[in-house]
Chains A and B, each alone.
Chain A
């Protein structure tokens, strides 16, 4: 079981029995053994965010500042200035909004080596309602200079991202979910690299670009669409929203000419917007749709019901892909052009 899991490679069974946050907690403990400069901070969410696992292992290097997120990010900036490598964890809503200015001014402006692992991203804590949801965090974090923004697909990718961020200079924002989201990956060995998109399935008719919890759903939808519609669907896991793998998006533009994005985030400012910017700048015709939480505060509910409602589950993705396949767009003269 989770407590017995050690080592750097997580099996499907392990990942299915542990949340992304739990895996993060265990990985951080391993990193803490290797690197004495790592310190941990939380704001009365040591248990929920699982950074408490690090705190239990290294009590002298862990600071629970109480329910004071702004102070926490300021203290983390000070610790980074003193030569430590802070890992900071609270919910995504409080990271990106309550402590937004500390993250931006104390950490990003000073370009500090500070790693933020924000849990309960998107509507993964759907029953808590909009006070605890974060459907704006990617837009906010993406706009901050120096910030790297990563949305791991599952627990296994979370382990990869947390390991990789240690040697990635500057501030990093890693956004994970809350619950026992099933995993896409079976092992850690698929070539995870910050800033590099992963093509999960090849395809020529349409490209689905997904991040976080929608990756598994997109892969499943692509399988169904192949079987039922005979569609060749390319699926890209765009785990790093910033810096963006523009080359992968441009290849999708020229090679599939239809792109659809799925994210557990507002349709304003997140993955879809980042992809749209690249498509628009390419000057090429491309049918496009971004699917996420519309410009509204989410309904209350269990995540699986909410994902179904917002077309972010397998059925929803199939539905939206079929719609985009029927979309007309103006073809340019260089239909067969290459990147």
Chain B
């Protein structure tokens, strides 16, 4: 079912806000994984503001949905989403990267309210998400586990170990989404270490694969809703995205995997995001 105009406007508002937040946090932090943080914004916004059953007032609620941001370097994109959802005050992100801050590049579940699982080292998220999903099934509980993978991350063998096991155990309460932004640190994924034919690989491992535009809220929400209903096999959603999405000079630019901005670049970035979302300054 398509999103209503009100729902769509709400998600767009948040997508704009979080992109502005990411620019702020990158400046405060003195640098961040901004490219991959921006590519996954619309996926996280869809999850946290439309799809997830979570309660920021009660972050440990036993029947909440779980989220594993396996591309843990996306912390700069994840933390503002959690702040806007109400897990903590946005202003606390001013400490990002500073001495003894709860916020480092890779979010620590023991320090950051709302984070279910600590990630950072790539290839660790899907196995842990699988464990969570098996746990929910063992207890006959109806919550879902969501795992957000990077496409470069899928070079890691453990992703495929977990994929093999998820299909083997017929886990259908796990929704795995790949942020397919096509860039990794050293270049294009297909030049550094090709993952294509990507969908075919996941299908061969026993997944049902859906391919969508990862910046289209209707497509994201529809794919996840379909994944919920799927009872035959685990579902993998390939979300095609742009690294640096929303900031014109960062988009599809490998140099912005990690970067810092002076005030001029930050202003340019804000102007670009505002223009993209039709926000007059």
Whether A and B are associated in the same complex: the answer reads: yes
Q: Does B118 contact A (CB under 8 A)?
A: yes
> In the complex the two chains form, is A79's CB within 8 Å of B158's CB?
no
| Bound CA–CA A83/B117 (angstroms) | 13
> In the complex the two chains form, is B165's CB within 8 Å of A39's CB?
no
Which residues of A have CB within 8 Å of B117? 77-78, 81, 110
When C-beta atoms are compared, the residue in chain B nearest to A74 turns out to be B127
Q: Does A76 contact B (CB under 8 A)?
A: yes
> In the complex the two chains form, is B135's CB within 8 Å of A83's CB?
yes
Q: Does A230 contact B (CB under 8 A)?
A: no
Q: Does B31 contact A (CB under 8 A)?
A: no
In B116-145, the 8 Å CB interface with A consists of 116-118, 120-121, 123-124, 126-136, 138-139, 145
Q: Does B255 contact A (CB under 8 A)?
A: no
Q: Residue A74 contacts which of B116, B145, B162 (CB distance < 8 angstroms)?
A: B162
Q: Residue A75 contacts which of B120, B157, B165 (CB distance < 8 angstroms)?
A: B165
Which residues of A have CB within 8 Å of B118? 105, 109-110
> In the complex the two chains form, is B169's CB within 8 Å of A63's CB?
yes
Interface size counted on chain A using CB atoms at 8 A: 29
When C-beta atoms are compared, the residue in chain B nearest to A82 turns out to be B135
In A105-134, the 8 Å CB interface with B consists of 105-106, 109-111
> In the complex the two chains form, is A78's CB within 8 Å of B132's CB?
yes
Smallest distance from the beta carbon of A182 to chain B beta carbons, Å?
38
Q: Does A243 contact B (CB under 8 A)?
A: no
| Bound CA–CA A60/B127 (angstroms) | 19
Which residues of B have CB within 8 Å of A225? none
In A69-98, the 8 Å CB interface with B consists of 70-84
Taking A75-B162, A82-B139, A109-B118 as contacts, is the C-beta distance between A63 and B127 under 8 angstroms? no
Q: Does A163 contact B (CB under 8 A)?
A: no
Which residues of B have CB within 8 Å of A109? 108, 118
Q: Does B164 contact A (CB under 8 A)?
A: yes
Taking A63-B169, A70-B161 as contacts, is the C-beta distance between A75 and B138 under 8 angstroms? no
Q: Residue B131 contacts which of A66, A68, A75, A111 (CB distance < 8 angstroms)?
A: A75
| Bound CA–CA A146/B131 (angstroms) | 21
When C-beta atoms are compared, the residue in chain B nearest to A81 turns out to be B132
| Bound CA–CA A39/B126 (angstroms) | 19
Q: Does A61 contact B (CB under 8 A)?
A: yes
Q: Residue B130 contacts which of A39, A74, A83, A102 (CB distance < 8 angstroms)?
A: A74
Residues of B within 8 A of A (CB): 62, 66, 108-110, 116-118, 120-121, 123-124, 126-136, 138-139, 145, 157-158, 161-162, 164-165, 168-169
Question: Can you pick out 8 interface pairs between chain A and chain B where the beta carbons lie within 8 Å of each other?
Answer: A60-B138, A68-B158, A71-B161, A75-B165, A77-B128, A79-B131, A84-B135, A102-B124
Residues of A within 8 A of B (CB): 39, 60-61, 63, 65-66, 68, 70-84, 101-102, 105-106, 109-111
Counting from the closest, the 5 A-B pairs by CB-CB distance are A78-B131, A74-B127, A82-B135, A71-B161, A68-B161
